[in-house]
C-alpha cells in the first residue's frame, strides 16, 4: 500500500491518530467535570500515554517518506485530498519537532497544574500555583524553541501556530494597535451615553441553579444544539470539548446573576455548532478539522455577542426568562433586559466582559504571555504586572488574584499563544454576521421568533463545512468579501452602542 498509494496509507494512519485524539478529548472533558479529585494522577497518566501514542504514530520512521511520496503525486489529488495532504504535512512538522519525552512531560505538567489551579483560584493564592505553573512555562518554552526551529518562526509565533495556523505576531500587533487607538474613545463615549440615560433596573434574584439549567438547555436547543450528539455540564471554567459527534459543553452558575451561566451556554453552543457542522466525510482527517481558533472563537462570539445580545433575540428570550424564574414587572421587559445585556463597564472577569472592554482583557494577556516567554517578566511578578495592566487598560485593580491572574485556566493548562484568537475571533464574528445579514434579509426577523435555522444554514455553508480546506483569510474573504480586519467590528460597536 505504501508503494502503490502513499496518500491512502496516510489517510488510514491519520484516521487512527484522530481516534486517539478523540479518546483523549473525552478524558479531558471528564477530568474537568466529573472526575473525582483522587483520580487526578491516574488521569494524568492516561492522557500523557495517549499523547505519546498519538505522537509516535505521527512521527513513525517512514512518515517523512510517505509524505514526500504523496506530495510527488499531489497533482492527481482532488482539492479536498490536496488540502488534506497539506494539513498532514503541517501537523507532522509540529509533532516531528518534539521528542516523545517532551510531549509526555508537557501533558503531565498541564494535568498537575490544572489541578493546582483549581485550589489556587478558590483560595486566591498565586504563590501556591507558582511551582507547577513554572514547570508548565519551562516546558512550554522548550516546546516553542523546538517548533520555532522546525517552522522557521519566532518562539511565540510557533506556539501561536498551534492554535491559528499561519497566525503571526506582526499581524496581531497591527490589528491590536488599530483597536487600541479606537477603544478608549469608544468606551468613554459609551459610558457618557449610558450615564445620561441612567442605569437599567436590576433583575431581582436569587436565581435557582436548576431553573438556570433548564433555561440554558432551552436556549441552547433554540440555537440548534443537538442533545442526541451532545450534553451540557458544569466546570470551573466554561469550555467546549468532546468530538464532532459527541460535543460536550460546560458552564458555571451564580445564583445572583443568571446571565453569567446563560451567556456561557450560548457562547459554548456557538463552538459546539461549529464542531457538529464540520464536513462529515472528512472528520477523521486533518482537512476536516476546524480551521483554527480564530474561526472557532468567531462562531462562539457570533452567537453570544452578535446574535444573542441583539434586540431581536432578547425580545424572543425575555418571556422565557420570566417564565423560568417566575418573574414579572418592568425590570423583566425586553427593553430593560437588553439594556442590561448591552451594558458597558470595565470589570475584572474576562468571560463576563462586554464587547467594548473585552479586547482590552485580551491585549493584557497577550502582552503578559509574550513578556514571560521572552524572559522579560518573571513569573513571580505576574500578579503585580497583571494589576498594573488592568489599571492602565481598564482603570480598575483586582482586589485579589482570583479576580486577577488566576481567573483563566489557559496558562495552567499549557495554552500559551491562544489568547489573541479571542479578539481576532470577535473581529471575524462581526464580519461574518454582517455578511449573513446582508445575504439573508429575513435573518433578524427569524431570530426574533427564535428561529436560528437561516443563520445556522448560512454558517454551515460558509464556515462550518469548509473545515480546513483553506486558510482563515480565504474562508473569510469568500464569505464576507474581505480578509480579517477591524472595520466591521468597529462599525458594529458604533451601531449597537452609539446609534441605537
- How is residue 23 annotated by DSSP? H
Q: 1 is written with which cell numbers? A: 500500500
Q: For residues 84 and 90, what is the distance between their CA atoms, to the nearest angstrom?
A: 10
Q: For residues 427 and 366, what is the distance between their CA atoms, to the nearest angstrom?
A: 16
The distance from CA 65 to its chain's CA centroid, rounded to whole angstroms, is: 35
| Residue found by looking up cell 479531558 in the block | 28
Q: How far is CA 216 from CA 302, 333, 336, in A?
A: 17, 19, 20
Q: For residues 14 and 158, what is the distance between their CA atoms, to the nearest angstrom?
A: 22
Is 268 among the catalytic positions? Answer: yes
Q: Judge contact between 278 and 464, C-beta under 8 A.
A: yes
| Residue found by looking up cell 494539513 in the block | 87
Question: Which of 268, 275, 355, 369 is flagged as catalytic?
Answer: 268
First to last CA, the chain: 63
| Residue found by looking up cell 434574584 in the block | 205
Residue 126 three-state SS? helix
Q: For residues 365 and 22, what is the distance between their CA atoms, to the nearest angstrom?
A: 29
Q: Judge contact between 190 and 317, C-beta under 8 A.
A: no
Which among 170, 173, 139 is positioned nearest to 154, based on CA atoms?
170
Beta bridge partners of 234: 251
- How is residue 62 annotated by DSSP? T
Which among 414, 370, 261, 15 is positioned nearest to 249, based on CA atoms?
261
Q: For residues 364 and 310, what is the distance between their CA atoms, to the nearest angstrom?
A: 28
Residue 255: CB partners within 8 Å, gap ≥ 6?
Answer: 205, 206, 207, 208, 209, 212
Cβ-in-10-Å burial (0-12, 13-18, 19+) of 208 comes to: middle
Residue-wise burial string across 42-75, b where 16 or more C-beta atoms lie within 10 A, e elsewhere = ebbebbbebbbbbbeebbeeebeebbebbbeeee
Residue 165 three-state SS? coil
What stretches of 228-363 adopt beta strand conformation (E)? 230-234, 240-243, 246-251
Query: CB 228: neighbour CB atoms within 10 A?
Result: 6
Catalytic residue list:
268
Amino acid at each position: 500500500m505504501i508503494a502503490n498509494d502513499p496518500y491512502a496509507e496516510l489517510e488510514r494512519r491519520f484516521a487512527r491518530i484522530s481516534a486517539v485524539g478523540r479518546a483523549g478529548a473525552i478524558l479531558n472533558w471528564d477530568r474537568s467535570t466529573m472526575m473525582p479529585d483522587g483520580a487526578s494522577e491516574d488521569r494524568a497518566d492516561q492522557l500523557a500515554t495517549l499523547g505519546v501514542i498519538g505522537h509516535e504514530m505521527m512521527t513513525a520512521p517512514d512518515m517523512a517518506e510517505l509524505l514526500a511520496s504523496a506530495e510527488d503525486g499531489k497533482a492527481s489529488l482532488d482539492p479536498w485530498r490536496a488540502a488534506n495532504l497539506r494539513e498532514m504535512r503541517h501537523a507532522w512538522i509540529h509533532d516531528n519537532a518534539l521528542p516523545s519525552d517532551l510531549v509526555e512531560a508537557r501533558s503531565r505538567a498541564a494535568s498537575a497544574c490544572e489541578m493546582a489551579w483549581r485550589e489556587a483560584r478558590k483560595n486566591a493564592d498565586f504563590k501556591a500555583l507558582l511551582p507547577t505553573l513554572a514547570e508548565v512555562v519551562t516546558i512550554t518554552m522548550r516546546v516553542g524553541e523546538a517548533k520555532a526551529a522546525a517552522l522557521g518562526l519566532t518562539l511565540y509565533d510557533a506556539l501561536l501556530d498551534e492554535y491559528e495556523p499561519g497566525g503571526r505576531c506582526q499581524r496581531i500587533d497591527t490589528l491590536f494597535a488599530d483597536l487600541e487607538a479606537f477603544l478608549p474613545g469608544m468606551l468613554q463615549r459609551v459610558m457618557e451615553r449610558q450615564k445620561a440615560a441612567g442605569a437599567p433596573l436590576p433583575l431581582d434574584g436569587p436565581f435557582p441553579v436548576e431553573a438556570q439549567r433548564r433555561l440554558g438547555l432551552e436556549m441552547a436547543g433554540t440555537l440548534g444544539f443537538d442533545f442526541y450528539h451532545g450534553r451540557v455540564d458544569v466546570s470551573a471554567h466554561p469550555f467546549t470539548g468532546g468530538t464532532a459527534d459527541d460535543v460536550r459543553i460546560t458552564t458555571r452558575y451564580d445564583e445572583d446573576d443568571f446571565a453569567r451561566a446563560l451567556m456561557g451556554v450560548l457562547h459554548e453552543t456557538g463552538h459546539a455548532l461549529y464542531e457538529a457542522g464540520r464536513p462529515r466525510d472528512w472528520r477523521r482527517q486533518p482537512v476536516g478539522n476546524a480551521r483554527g481558533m480564530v474561526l472557532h472563537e468567531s462562531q462562539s462570539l457570533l452567537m453570544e455577542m452578535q446574535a444573542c445580545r441583539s434586540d431581536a433575540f432578547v425580545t424572543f428570550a425575555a418571556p422565557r426568562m420570566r417564565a423560568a424564574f417566575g418573574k414579572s414587572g418592568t425590570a423583566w421587559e425586553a427593553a430593560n433586559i437588553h439594556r442590561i445585556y448591552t451594558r458597558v463597564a470595565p470589570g475584572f472577569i474576562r468571560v463576563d466582559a462586554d464587547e467594548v472592554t473585552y479586547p482590552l482583557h485580551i491585549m493584557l494577556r497577550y502582552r503578559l504571555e509574550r513578556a514571560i516567554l521572552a524572559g522579560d517578566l518573571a513569573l513571580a511578578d505576574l500578579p503585580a504586572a497583571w494589576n498594573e495592566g488592568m489599571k492602565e487598560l481598564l482603570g480598575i485593580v483586582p482586589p485579589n488574584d482570583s479576580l486577577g491572574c488566576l481567573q483563566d485556566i489557559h496558562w495552567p493548562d499549557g495554552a500559551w499563544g491562544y489568547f489573541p484568537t479571542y479578539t481576532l475571533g470577535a473581529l471575524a464574528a462581526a464580519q461574518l454576521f454582517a455578511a449573513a445579514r446582508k445575504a439573508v434579509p429575513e435573518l433578524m426577523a427569524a431570530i426574533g421568533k427564535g428561529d436560528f435555522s437561516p443563520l445556522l444554514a448560512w454558517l454551515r455553508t460558509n464556515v462550518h463545512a469548509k473545515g480546513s480546506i483553506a486558510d482563515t483569510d480565504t474562508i473569510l474573504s469568500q464569505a464576507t468579501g474581505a480578509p480579517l480586519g477591524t472595520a466591521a467590528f468597529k462599525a458594529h460597536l458604533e451601531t449597537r452602542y452609539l446609534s441605537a
